[in-house]
């Protein structure tokens, strides 16, 4: 039997039981209510009133029963209409939920349910819509991932095909193309490494080896790594740290990876001839590192999503320059090392700040 008939028959059964209970309780309790009035009437009538007491009680009982019987059809009609409307609303909500879940099952993640009322069915509809929105975003991320990976692989693969054809035709010497082939292979390796890393970071499966080191060591290692790249773009890279030793307790290589991702992101978005400043200072029980650039900044509507994997603020401008997971990896690593990563942005540029636990033991 379908849900609506079952609900409707269940309501009717409740109505019949309620009517039977009403008549039974009326028969049991009504005499205690009208007996006082019968006694008053008997007193007023005098001695002959005593002989009329049974008739008065029977008359009141019949009157009460007649009133209940007369009111019963109207009450049943109201109850049936109410049961019908209530059952239909429940069934409609269940049908909408069923249709919505079937739509999600076949990939139509844009399906939404109307959110009316404040009862459990409305809460269920809201929860369904939240789930559908999450699934829709996951699907969008999946499509974006396929598109990004396809685009990232297309360029190096096209280059490798060209080099292979040139080698086959003998129009170019192997020693001339080997550096280019190695470069394209490194590009594909970087993409594969980024995809693997973001999966492990989100799963919390990155192995960490905490050590104690100075903040200056991290700054100098990053400066050495990015010196040539920043010089090529004529972008000034400056460093400063709080006076006195700043001892950090974290994984050095992963900390360098976080800072490197932020510096790569800054270089990608700052104009030629711009400036990037990296600072380190003590902030409570953490050492705070900040990467500030004088680029165009990040629009407010994008700030809440820039740490999402594969999310690009400007796909047209950054396509081909990264896999779109650098900031995701940076935040995940910072959090796994007991720190955090946040961003502030305005028309004058952006500032990424990440905190790492300070060493309680002082110097390394």
Which tens digit of pLDDT belongs to each residue from 337-362? 999 999 998 887 899 999 999 987 65
d(CA 82, CA 7): 12
Where would I find the beta strands (DSSP E) of the chain?
211-214, 236-241, 247-250, 275-283, 286-293, 340-346, 349-357
Of these ranges, 247-256, 311-320, 325-334, the one predicted with the greatest mean pLDDT is: 247-256
- Residue spans of alpha helices (H) in 106-173: 120-169
Q: In terms of DSSP bridges, do strands 349-357 and 286-293 run parallel, antiparallel, or are they unpaired?
A: antiparallel
The CATH number of the structural domain formed by 135-202 is 1.10.287.130
pLDDT of residue 320: 44
pLDDT of residue 57: 67
Q: Look up the pTM and report it.
A: 0.57
Phi and psi angles of residue 280, each rounded to the nearest 5 degrees, phi first: -140, 135
Of these ranges, 40-44, 140-144, 159-163, the one predicted with the greatest mean pLDDT is: 159-163
Q: Mean of the pLDDT values across residues 122-147? A: 79
Compute the 3-state secondary structure of the chain and give helix, strand, coil in percent, each to the nearest 5: 65, 15, 20
Chain centroid, CA 268 distance in Å: 28
Res. 319: pLDDT tops 50:
no
Which tens digit of pLDDT belongs to each residue from 38-87? 666 666 666 666 666 666 667 777 777 787 778 778 777 877 777 777 77
Query: What order of strands is seen across the sheet that includes strand 340-346?
Result: 236-241, 275-283, 286-293, 349-357, 340-346
pLDDT of residue 59: 73
pLDDT of residue 350: 92
pLDDT of residue 140: 77
d(CA 115, CA 101): 16
Alpha-carbon torsion 106, 108, 109, 113, what sign?
negative
Which tens digit of pLDDT belongs to each residue from 303-315? 888 887 766 666 5
Phi and psi angles of residue 224, each rounded to the nearest 5 degrees, phi first: -65, -35
What's the CA dihedral at 77, 78, 81, 85 to 10 degrees? -170
The CATH number of the structural domain formed by 211-357 is 3.30.565.10
For the chain, the domains span 3-105, 135-202, 211-357
Which tens digit of pLDDT belongs to each residue from 217-264? 999 999 998 998 899 999 999 998 877 778 999 999 999 999 999 999
Mean pLDDT, the chain, as a whole number?
Answer: 80
pLDDT of residue 74: 77
pLDDT of residue 256: 94
Res. 187: pLDDT tops 60:
yes
Res. 270: pLDDT tops 60:
yes
Structure tokens at 31: 């005499």
Q: Is 336 helix (H, G, I), strand (E, B) or coil?
A: helix
Q: Mean of the pLDDT values across residues 142-170? A: 80
Percent of the chain scoring above 70 in pLDDT: 84
Res. 1: pLDDT tops 60:
no
Q: Any idea which residue has 């939404």 for tokens? A: 112
More confident residue, 323 or 203: 203
Q: Mean of the pLDDT values across residues 178-191? A: 81
Q: Mean of the pLDDT values across residues 142-163? A: 78
More confident residue, 94 or 277: 277
pLDDT of residue 287: 94
Res. 269: pLDDT tops 60:
yes
Helix (H) or strand (E) holding 291: strand 286-293
Res. 23: pLDDT tops 90:
no
Q: Are 152 and 323 in contact (CB under 8 A)?
A: yes
Q: Are 11 and 102 in contact (CB under 8 A)?
A: no
Q: How far is CA 24 from CA 27, 32, 46, 277, in A?
A: 5, 14, 33, 87
More confident residue, 10 or 281: 281
């Amino acid at each position: 039997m379908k849900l609506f008939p079952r609900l409707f028959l269940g309501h009717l059964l409740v109505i019949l039981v309620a009517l039977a209970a009403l008549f039974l309780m009326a028969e049991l309790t009504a005499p205690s209510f009208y007996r006082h009035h019968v006694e008053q009437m008997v007193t007023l009538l005098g001695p002959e009133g005593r002989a009329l007491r049974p008739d008065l009680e029977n008359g009141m009982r019949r009157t009460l029963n007649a009133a209940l019987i007369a009111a019963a059809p109207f009450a049943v009609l109201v109850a049936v209409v109410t049961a019908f409307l209530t059952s239909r609303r429940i069934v409609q909500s269940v049908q909408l939920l069923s249709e919505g879940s079937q739509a999600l099952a076949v990939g139509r993640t844009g399906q939404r349910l109307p959110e009316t009322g404040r009862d459990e069915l409305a809460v269920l509809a809201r929860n369904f819509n939240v789930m559908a929105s999450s699934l829709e975003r996951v699907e969008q991320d999946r499509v974006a991932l396929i598109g990004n990976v396809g685009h990232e692989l297309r360029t190096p693969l096209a280059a490798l095909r060209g080099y292979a054809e040139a080698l086959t035709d003998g129009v170019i010497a192997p020693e001339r193309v080997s550096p280019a082939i190695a470069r394209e292979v490194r590009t594909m390796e970087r993409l594969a490494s980024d995809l693997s890393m973001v999966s492990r970071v989100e799963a919390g499966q990155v192995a960490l080896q905490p050590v104690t080191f100075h903040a200056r060591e991290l700054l100098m290692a990053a400066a050495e790594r990015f010196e040539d790249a920043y010089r090529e773009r004529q972008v000034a890279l400056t460093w400063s740290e709080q006076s006195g030793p700043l001892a950090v307790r974290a994984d050095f290589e992963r900390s360098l990876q976080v800072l490197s991702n932020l510096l790569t992101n800054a270089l990608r978005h700052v104009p030629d001839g711009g400036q990037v400043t990296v600072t380190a200072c003590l902030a409570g029980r953490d050492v705070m590192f900040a990467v500030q650039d004088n680029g165009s900044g990040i629009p407010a509507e994008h700030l809440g999503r820039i740490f999402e994997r594969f999310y690009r603020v400007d796909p047209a401008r950054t396509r081909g320059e990264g896999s779109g997971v650098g900031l995701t990896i940076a935040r995940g690593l910072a959090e796994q090392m007991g720190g955090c990563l946040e961003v502030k942005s305005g028309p004058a540029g952006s500032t990424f700040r990440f905190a790492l636990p300070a060493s309680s033991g002082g110097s390394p």
